[in-house]
Structure 1
Amino acid sequence: MPVAPSTRSHLDDHLGQAEFALKVSANFDCLKNTPAHEAVRVALARVAEARRWVREGLAVERPTMKPYQAPLGQGLPLTRKERQGYRWP
């Protein structure tokens, strides 16, 4: 299911924050040589895998133009000469 580009960006940001927090946690000396350290390493690998999938595998939908965002005809609404000659009231 495709998602909006902003959704993918937010998800990548959150996974990046989780990855950073797990990297910091893995460096605590009190966790070294404990089962918790191994669990943190496994979680870090899973988060890195999920983040890689979000970046490469998550489908992004093309943004749709809303009626008020549609261009006003073909190209710019005024020619260059008209824009340069315009005087603000």
Structure 2
Amino acid sequence: MSHVTIYTTQHCPYCISAKNLLARKGANPTEIDVEASPQHFAQMLHKSKRRSVPQIFIGDRHVGGFDDLAILERKGELDALLQA
């Protein structure tokens, strides 16, 4: 399974939805809480060019946020990304 990284905050409903979807797919993402560390927020901003959470990376690919992840799932493309 591909390595998954998700930048989150603790009270973000989209972050929770993204983690739940990934869990249903058998992924165990590395979660980075950007509220806990300004350095992690800066890292997320540099890598994704976005300020909102969640920001999801599968392998080296920036997937985007929860809506982007959900679109990949609806199109049947998420499983292949996770297995790559």
Greater C-alpha Rg: 1
Q: Same fold (TM over 0.5)?
A: no
**Coarse TM-score class (shorter-chain normalised):** under 0.3
TM (norm. structure 2) is: 0.26
TM (norm. structure 1) is: 0.25
Greater percentage in helix: 1
Greater percentage in strand: 2
